[in-house]
Structure 1
């Protein structure tokens, strides 16, 4: 009952900022979504094995790892709004170059640039979204990630239909670049003005009501804080590993091992992102009601059971259902872990978020080649069993997440 007045009195500039951040998340998702269904076709075009493809795909994460830590100083220097929108256009441009590549070296080089610019977008859009959420003084962060999932679903459908209709990768990626450029130019004026806050308290109370001390030199940050950041990172990696399994390998698994056609093969990724979208739409309400810890623990169990059964009893539609269950299960893991990392006491705003994002990129670096090498040695089905294993890790580590918020936290909303 307390939410209605808060919504009614939300200033127009905050509503515009929320819409602007939502569009950036959507365009970020549509680029990856459009890429995933075309991976089997690009592998055929390059004439490489699963292992070689996985190594080339890992260049996405290499770029993010080598340059991703520049995101925080870039944001402090140029503002999260500028970094997010300009990097989004640069990322889509580099992805077009990857789609047009005729050899694996150019393909990997283009993905290196995609990874670096996508890392800038990732940190900047989340940092700006957290700014908006603090001013809203209620949970809206999962909704931003829901828009990412909606973009990924839209991109996946576009990619699957384009593949089925014989539209070239180059033409599809050029269309996506045009959409991204126009959309980001349009929403930039809607975003919050001014420099980034030095700590969360400068722009309203923290949603989780975690007290912020003065930020400390990294060598003086308590061991417990680093341990919590480590657990949060593993939880985020579990969500990311499932997402990468869907975006990198689901279409190949469906086509090569389950003998599905191109359009049907794309539906595993679409199911993953579609159910993740639903989970993120419901996520803020679920977290407010039960707490991030409970939601994460049940989500990890759903990943473990859903993907475990799909891989134990393989079929095209069972696999689609399994990826859908995983998508719903991981829906709140990455946004929840990012939120908690950004609020860890003793760390400067953006530091915990940047470290977690960087380590998440390290997992994305390892995921494609590890699964690819396992697939070359055995099968993709075996390689994908790591997804339910990570689901079990979430169940074990969910204690690092926040419990249900105290009622007093709602009085300011």
Structure 2
């Protein structure tokens, strides 16, 4: 046991490696959001057909997420995360060459499957790093995910304005991201052994027992985050009169405020406690979004309505900033399900991106 511990890399390099993995994941995810109105127009998709296409990542993630926790438990979250990162960036490329609604759905299904698996695995590695630190650091990983998403949104918006194709955008972003992530990933930590009472690792794991309410709450939080990514640009462009380059402003603002909230999230959780922070932040975020959209509806299409909607999504970003990391930490602190790779996988299984 002593030899295994000394063989592990120091926690700081591991923390950097996990943080960068979260960041590049967020960057690719964020860069896609401003391109959705363009895809909708190029393929002549109605709102209903686009909605069905945007359900494909959810279906794909439902296939891989329950399996990812088992994969991490059997082969380790570190090695599994490295493989998942490569597959994730490769899976983005078919989206750019989809020629109709059917091929778009298939491409988004594969993309969602790869992203869902990577999300579970990198969170499992994040929990391992947090345990090595002996204090809350998981919120900082989600902060850099949001910072990556903000950066990706800016990249996507600039690419739209410059007329850069989605294929080139994804290919360049993926190549640069992997060139950074793969060398750093050598510092990932080995997962701690599962407790003896955990039993054999099941092939397919779903939330159960004390994880169920946490999974339901995680579903709601990530449903809101996924909806913002998928639909905020369409809302601003098609309903509120924003231009193509400005359509990503709502998700950019959402990502910016979420980043700021998560940068102080670990201290907030320490001061307020996880359960109180979840109630306060989630409630205020929902209220802020509702108020912003209500004002936008009253004002009608135009700059004022766009500004009100962006403000509402900004408040939602603040509200959701610490909620998901707090849910993961709460799962890890629940005695009956002390957080190992499997319980992390079961909890994150609740993520469904609409």
Q: Do the structures match in fold with TM over 0.5? A: yes
Residue number in structure 1 paired with 2:317:
327
User: After the TM superposition, which of the residue ranges 303-312 and 151-160 deviates more from structure 2?
Assistant: 303-312
* Equivalent residue for 1:358, pick from 324, 340, 349: 349
* Equivalent residue for 1:51, pick from 15, 28, 48: 48
Please report how far the alpha carbon of residue 27 of structure 1 lies from its aligned counterpart in structure 2 after TM superposition.
Answer: 0.9
How many matched pairs? Answer: 333
Please report how far the alpha carbon of residue 189 of structure 1 lies from its aligned counterpart in structure 2 after TM superposition.
Answer: 1.3
Q: Distance in 2 between matches of 1:268 and 1:195?
A: 38
Residue 64 of structure 1 contacts residue 117 of structure 1 at CA under 8 Å; is this kept in 2?
A: yes
Counterpart check, 1:281 vs 2:277: no
Residue number in structure 1 paired with 2:5:
none
The secondary structure found in structure 2 opposite 1:263 is coil
* Equivalent residue for 1:298, pick from 280, 292, 302: 280
Q: Distance in 2 between matches of 1:343 and 1:138?
A: 12
Distance change in 2, residues 1:305/1:265 (3 Å): same
Instruction: Say what the alpha-carbon RMSD is for the aligned residues.
Output: 2.0
Please report how far the alpha carbon of residue 13 of structure 1 lies from its aligned counterpart in structure 2 after TM superposition.
Answer: 1.5
* Equivalent residue for 2:188, pick from 188, 191, 200: 191
* Equivalent residue for 1:102, pick from 96, 99, 103: 99
Q: What does the per-residue CA deviation read over 1:293-322, in whole Å, with 9 as the maximum and x for residues that have no partner?
A: 222122122212211111111010111111
Counterpart check, 1:255 vs 2:245: no
Residue number in structure 1 paired with 2:198:
215
Residue 75 of structure 1 contacts residue 196 of structure 1 at CA under 8 Å; is this kept in 2?
A: no
Q: Distance in 1 between matches of 2:331 and 2:101?
A: 36
When normalised by structure 2's length, the TM-score is 0.89
Q: Distance in 1 between matches of 2:157 and 2:347?
A: 32
Q: In structure 1, list runs of 5 or more residues that go unmatched.
A: 1-10, 200-212, 219-224, 369-413
Q: What does the per-residue CA deviation read over 1:19-40, in whole Å, with 9 as the maximum and x for residues that have no partner?
A: 0000000011011001111001
Q: Distance in 2 between matches of 1:304 and 1:130?
A: 27
Q: In structure 2, list runs of 5 or more residues that go unmatched.
A: 1-7, 202-206, 297-304
Please report how far the alpha carbon of residue 195 of structure 1 lies from its aligned counterpart in structure 2 after TM superposition.
Answer: 5.2
Residue number in structure 2 paired with 1:115:
112
Q: Distance in 2 between matches of 1:343 and 1:228?
A: 11
Please report how far the alpha carbon of residue 237 of structure 1 lies from its aligned counterpart in structure 2 after TM superposition.
Answer: 2.0
Residue number in structure 1 paired with 2:211:
229
Please report how far the alpha carbon of residue 216 of structure 1 lies from its aligned counterpart in structure 2 after TM superposition.
Answer: 6.4
Stretches (4+) displaced over 4 A: none
Residue 160 of structure 2 contacts residue 245 of structure 2 at CA under 8 Å; is this kept in 1?
A: yes
Matches within 5 A, 1:135-150: 135-150=132-147
Counterpart check, 1:157 vs 2:154: yes
The secondary structure found in structure 2 opposite 1:214 is helix
